[in-house]
Amino acid sequence: MIQPNPSTAMARVVVDELIRGGVRFAVVAPGSRSSALAIALVERDELEVVVHIDERSAGFRALGRAMASRGPAVVVTTSGSAVANLMPAAVEADRSDVPLILMTADRPADLVRRRANQTMVQPGFFDSVVRLTVNLSEATSSVDSNDSWRRSVDRLLGSALGSGGAPGPVHLNIAFTEPTVPFTDDGRTAGEPYEFEIAGAADRRLWSVPEFPDPPEPVWDIDLGTRPLLIAGRGDYDAPALVGEADSKGLPVLATALSGGRGPGSIMAYHHILVDGIPPSLKPTGVLVVGQMGPSSRLQALTSGTVPVVHIDRWGRFSDPSGTMTVGMRVDPLTALIQWGGATDPSYQGSWRLIQESIDNVLDAVLSDRPPSGPGVALAMNDVARSRLVVGSSLPIRDVDALSRRPGPIFSNRGLSGIDGFVSTAFGVAGDDSGVVGLAGDLSFLHDSNGFLTDVRPDIVMVVCDNNGGGLFDLLPQARHAPSFERLFISPHNRDLSALAAFHGVGYRNVHDVGRLAHEIEAARDQDGPQLVHVPVSRAHDVETREALDAAARRALTDLD
């Protein structure tokens, strides 16, 4: 079929090949140069398309969907500074191995060289973080480019999904000439029809199917002793199956909140068990680390001893900031554990579980009948029925990691631990699932309040623990040594979150009794659209509560000795 102009033909081919490769979700930030892409996306019923005014929020909306689905998601921007606003989501996708497709419209190369308006050098802009950059030059009516366009998209999809290494973000930069709407003459620019065939391969197949190599077989050549433990962090593996396999072999599994491996077979209270380092009765003879360990520095200290430390990651992307890794195995973690044939001390796993039970009891006792605090909110979230939880960086993810005991997936932008993009990431994770709950601090919530400026808003409850600033810094050396501490680090915003909720048309509830938090969340779920459950907390009480939890853990550990 004849296409009205080359730009429309190219956009329709690119979108068609993306759909054949499994893309089902796209976020569009409005712009003129990207018109052909935006129109081609909404022409296809197979796609869910949402619109965000803010390009940074748009990037995180797509990131959240790709993170939750482990499939590719697209974000589209126009040319110029709009492109730069995708960098925060791109760096997070890189560190978190998320298949995010950055699709940026560009102007023809001769305009870039002439410093035309809204132009910059876009090819290669993301090269430090993406798996692959593909640049498509402007289409012309005299060249049949269907083959090259589709092959370019297939290469891009393969790289995003892990054909050349770890999955991750990719960049498709496309130069468009006007007209960029589906007319030969748009009233401002007259083009020529594109008369070449643009059909794809038969049977909805990709034009050129990427190859995905199998991970190598594990080779065990290190002695872990009879008391090894496994740290399960966030990564690309079957966490419940890994925990089950470790349990059957007698290995204690210290499962981070973001691992997806929490449940009856795992150790979750490690942050407080390790309050003063590893108790003598729990010292391991070897440590296995799967994935990225997470926010607890106490957990990370377990890898700093003199015992062998084996990191396992199917992509070879080992998280070893202390440089203590003895061996790195680029294999599938579950396959590696299945093939490990070591013998274990049958009492070791039981010792961890006994201490965890005692620690859980004292933590519950400390947090009962106390005013609201970050830890109290995190513990109360255990009583909330949910399918998925999205957690903001800074204090909330630390509290959830320390106190969450619920199985099931938890999502957070902890690749680079920024507070940006929380609202949009949560929207992306939620999709049409009304069971999703978000938990963030006030600064994370405010930082991405533009995330509400979208045409499709899911039914999601967002719990905001509000200490009027950056309360994390109360726990850091800056609190004792930095001049102008309040202004430079806490940065109190003094904003009324109920007014912000009203401005964005978001339902609002204020909770002063953490014991009622689960009830208020369930009540908010009965309402349509996004809902804010606002929990004001005192910074001073928050610090006292954390100190009380550590003190109670110390007493419990002493009693067990």
Tokens representing 356 are 């965890």
What is the share, in percent, of the chain residues with pLDDT greater than 90?
91
- Which of 188, 214, 240 corresponds to the end of one domain? 188
pLDDT band at 30 (very low <50, low <70, confident <90, very high): very high
- Which of 160, 188, 216 corresponds to the end of one domain? 188
Q: What is the pLDDT of residues 394-433, one digit of tens each?
A: 999 999 999 999 898 999 999 888 899 999 999 999 998 8
Q: Which domain holds residue 342?
A: 228-359
> In the chain, how many domains are there?
3
DSSP state of 327: E
Question: Residue 472 and residue 39: Cα distance in Å, rounded?
Answer: 44
Pair 428, 461 in one domain: yes
pLDDT score of 116 more than 90: no
The 3-state secondary structure of 167-223, one letter per residue: CCCEEEEEECCCCCCCCCECCCCECCCECCCCCCCHHHCCCCCCCCCCCCCCCCCCC
Pair 331, 412 in one domain: no
196 belongs to a structural domain = no
CA-CA distances (angstroms) from residue 421 to 52, 86, 88, 330?
Answer: 12, 11, 8, 31
Pair 347, 376 in one domain: no
200 belongs to a structural domain = no
- Which of 131, 162, 188 corresponds to the end of one domain? 188
Average pLDDT across the chain, whole number: 95
Query: Could you write out the DSSP letters of every residue in 65-101?
Result: HHHHHSS-EEEEE-STHHHHTTHHHHHHHHHHT--EE
> In angstroms, how far is the first alpha carbon of the chain from the final one?
79
437 belongs to a structural domain = yes
pLDDT average, residue stretch 150-157: 98
State the virtual CA torsion across 230, 236, 237, 240 in degrees, nearest 10: 80
Pair 183, 264 in one domain: no
250 belongs to a structural domain = yes
Q: What is the pLDDT of residues 78-99, one digit of tens each?
A: 999 999 999 999 999 999 999 9
pLDDT score of 208 more than 90: yes
Q: What is the CATH number of the domain that holds 441?
A: 3.40.50.970
Pair 427, 486 in one domain: yes
Helix segments in 431-487, DSSP class H: 442-447, 478-481, 485
Pair 284, 430 in one domain: no
Pair 460, 487 in one domain: yes
Pair 304, 399 in one domain: no
Pair 105, 172 in one domain: yes
Q: What is the pLDDT of residues 257-311, one digit of tens each?
A: 999 999 999 999 999 999 999 999 999 999 999 999 989 999 999 998 889 999 9
Pair 402, 471 in one domain: yes
557 belongs to a structural domain = no
pLDDT score of 113 more than 90: no
Give the per-residue pLDDT at 285.
97
Q: Contact, 55 vs 85, CB < 8 A?
A: yes
The helix/strand/coil state of 28 is strand
206 belongs to a structural domain = no
Pair 248, 167 in one domain: no
Give the per-residue pLDDT at 17.
98
pLDDT average, residue stretch 364-369: 93
Long-range contacts of 322-329 (CB under 8 A, 24+ apart): 325/289, 326/222, 327/221, 327/222, 329/218, 329/219
343 belongs to a structural domain = yes
Neighbours of 450 (CB within 10 A): 17
DSSP state of 36: H
Pair 337, 386 in one domain: no
pLDDT band at 158 (very low <50, low <70, confident <90, very high): very high
Question: Residue 275 and residue 548: Cα distance in Å, rounded?
Answer: 12
Give the per-residue pLDDT at 385.
80
545 belongs to a structural domain = no
